[in-house]
Amino acid sequence: MSLRFSILTPTLNRRALLGEALESVAAQRWPAVQHIVADGGSSDGTLEWLAGQGGVQVLEGPDAGIYDGLNKAAAAAEGDIVGWLNSDDSYAPSAFAAVAEAFARDTSLAAVCGAARIESGGRVERHYPGRDIADLSPGALLIGPTLPNAWFFRRDVFRAVGPFSAALRFAADSDFMMRFARLGAAHGHVDDLVYRYRRHEGSATIAARASAPLREDMLALALMWREDAGARATARALEGRCRAVLALDALRRGRIGAAAAHAAHAPAIFSGVLDLAHRRLDPVLRRRREGEAA
């Protein structure tokens, strides 16, 4: 019996890009797919366009952001396997087949991931092998890159992890993956390319990697995991790296008080600097962070 996939896609005013995402799901030619699109209240004609698309289940907003949309879509998922697809990205051809084969080969697996690429303007910038994405250590998940969209989960496991955190704007997927790792469930990977990230000016995370709002969100993530025994050292390093960047940003903006508040956490900043140096000098960690150049 063929596994049924439930694919969750949150979107807001992405009409120009959403078509390629939907086409990548249809192109899988998989016999059993539930594609749920959670629209957050688009005003660019997205809903009107979706009304004419077959094979898509639409949840109309408004919602409280990407992760709220994902939570609503996850609650409606009925498939055996759950994955989430950003509205500006796409699945690689035969991704479902490769993942389904891995689940069939080892029925104990709770999740399977594959390789992913970051593309810009039709050019491949970075390639991340499935074996690296399968790393569920705190260093990989908190400091990353996490690349969670290259993962597929059995539905009961997906729900056991719990909903995406409403307290995080950009980093709730990293928190989700940390909670999955803490389950200790069996997981595997395939070498096949399964996911294609699109780098563009409007991307919620890739284009905002160095922005203050993202750093603030990553700081909140670090503080959430700072008391976890297994993640404490990594969370402290992430906290320090974020505070250092935010302190410098505050100084540039003339916000002396905010800069001083972050700088007061000198031990954490020192830990972050040491961790950054270690990751840049260690060839294995550097390859995992930067991927393979095209």
Tens digits of per-residue pLDDT, 61-119? 899 999 999 999 999 999 999 999 999 999 999 999 999 999 999 999 999 999 999 99
Helix %, strand %, coil % of the chain (to 5): 50, 20, 30
Give me the pLDDT at residue 290, please. Answer: 63
* pLDDT value of residue 210: 56
pLDDT digits (tens, 9 = 90+) for 128-149: 999 999 999 999 999 878 899 9
Report DSSP letters for 34-89, one per residue: EEEEEE----SSHHHHHTT-TTEEEEE---SSHHHHHHHHHHH--SSEEEE--TT-
Q: How far apart are CA 26 and CA 31, in angstroms?
A: 10
Say which amino acid occupies 98.
Answer: A
The CA-to-CA distance between both ends of the chain, in Å, stands at 38
Query: If you average pLDDT over residues 232-238, what whole number do you get?
Result: 94
pLDDT, average across residues 170-178: 96
pLDDT band at 121 (very low <50, low <70, confident <90, very high): confident
Report whether CATH 3.40.720.10 matches the domain 5-206.
no
pLDDT exceeds 90 at position 289: no
Report the chain's mean pLDDT, rounded to a whole number. 91
pLDDT of residue 149: 97
pTM listed for this prediction: 0.91
Query: Is the per-residue pLDDT at 291 higher than 90?
Result: no
Q: What is the mean pLDDT of residues 17-22?
A: 95
pLDDT of residue 163 exceeding 90: yes
What percent of the chain has pLDDT above 70?
Answer: 91
Look at residue 124 and tell me whether its pLDDT is greater than 80.
yes
What is the percentage of the chain residues whose pLDDT exceeds 90?
80
Report the pLDDT averaged over residues 218-234.
96
Q: Count of CB atoms within 10 A of residue 145's CB?
A: 22
- Whether 196 and 116 have beta carbons less than 8 Å apart is answered as yes
